[in-house]
Homo-oligomer: A and B are copies of this chain.
Amino acid sequence: MHSETMSKLRFKISMSLDGFVAGPGQSVENPLGIGGGRLHDWAFQLAEFRTLLGLEGGEVNESTPVVEESLANIGATVMGRNMFGGHPGPWNAGNPWDGWWGVNPPFHHPVFVLTHHARDPLELEGGTTFHFVTDGMEVALERARRAAGGKDVSLAGGAKAAQQYLAAGLVDEMEINLVPALLGSGERLFESVGDDLHGLELVRTVAAPKVTHLKFAKRLHQESP
């Protein structure tokens, strides 16, 4: 289908100067790991993000249009199991945990969770339904594209899910929010991804307070001279 072909897989993530997207010691209580919160200081100072979280205040700066762009035209999301909710293994059949996104998750569209453990869809408030996909990342992406209804699909992470899609060359756009700080250890984004960005080229750099936004995209062959 034409509309499916045009639906892009878009990935955004905050990464430290030394390449980490989460600190060491990730847990259910501390999903970003030790020190991982520093990766998101730039976002929490934005009015745009504070409003999403129901907080007041915040500023408008060079990051604002980048964040607005990243949120626009998204019709579905794919994510890894850890990104939904961190405990490993089978779901607790009688009383499965509903993840750490709360009763009204910030997605407001279908979310496809990569997992080895089947589970019925989980419909929450505000239009977010989590679908649990056990037959692989390509199937999850296909289902997300169909559900997106002509809009794009967001790849929400975590690192392992992102690595799979990056290594397979399936990511069409990637926004690296590079944070000028070191974490020293933790989870690296570009681990086991190889040396090939599969045509993703740096197309825009935005210098903002506490972060540098690096946008990568595939050049369309039709646009080549």
A interface residues (Cβ-Cβ under 8 A, vs B): 17-19, 35, 176, 178, 180-185, 188-190, 193-197, 201-202, 204-205, 207, 210, 212, 214, 216
Q: Which residue of B35, B178, B183, B195 is within 8 Å of A183 (Cβ)?
A: B195
- Enumerate 14 A-B pairs (CB-CB under 8 Å) in ascending A order: A18-B188, A18-B189, A18-B193, A19-B188, A180-B201, A180-B202, A181-B197, A182-B190, A182-B197, A184-B194, A205-B207, A205-B212, A207-B207, A212-B212
A146 to chain B: closest CB distance in Å? Answer: 31
B19 x A214 contact (CB < 8 A): no
15 additional A-B pairs beyond A18-B190, A19-B188, beta carbons within 8 Å, are A17-B176, A17-B197, A17-B214, A18-B19, A18-B189, A180-B201, A182-B190, A182-B194, A182-B197, A184-B193, A184-B194, A184-B195, A185-B195, A205-B207, A212-B214
A190 x B35 contact (CB < 8 A): no
Q: How far is it, in angstroms, between the C-alpha of A184 and the C-alpha of B212 when the chains are bound?
A: 22
Q: How far is it, in angstroms, between the C-alpha of A216 and the C-alpha of B180 when the chains are bound?
A: 9
User: Which residues of B lie under 8 Å from residue A17 when comparing CB positions?
Assistant: 176, 190, 197, 214
Q: How far is it, in angstroms, between the C-alpha of A204 and the C-alpha of B195 when the chains are bound?
A: 28
A162 to chain B: closest CB distance in Å? Answer: 13
Closest partner residue, chain B, to A211 (CB atom): B202
User: Which residues of B lie under 8 Å from residue A202 when comparing CB positions?
Assistant: 180, 210, 212
B176 x A182 contact (CB < 8 A): no
A170 to chain B: closest CB distance in Å? Answer: 16
Beyond A19-B19, A182-B190, whether A35 also contacts B214 by CB under 8 A is no
A182 x B196 contact (CB < 8 A): yes
Q: Which residue of B184, B197, B205 is within 8 Å of A205 (Cβ)?
A: B205
Q: How far is it, in angstroms, between the C-alpha of A197 and the C-alpha of B182 when the chains are bound?
A: 7
Q: How far is it, in angstroms, between the C-alpha of A214 and the C-alpha of B176 when the chains are bound?
A: 14
Q: How far is it, in angstroms, between the C-alpha of A182 and the C-alpha of B190 when the chains are bound?
A: 8
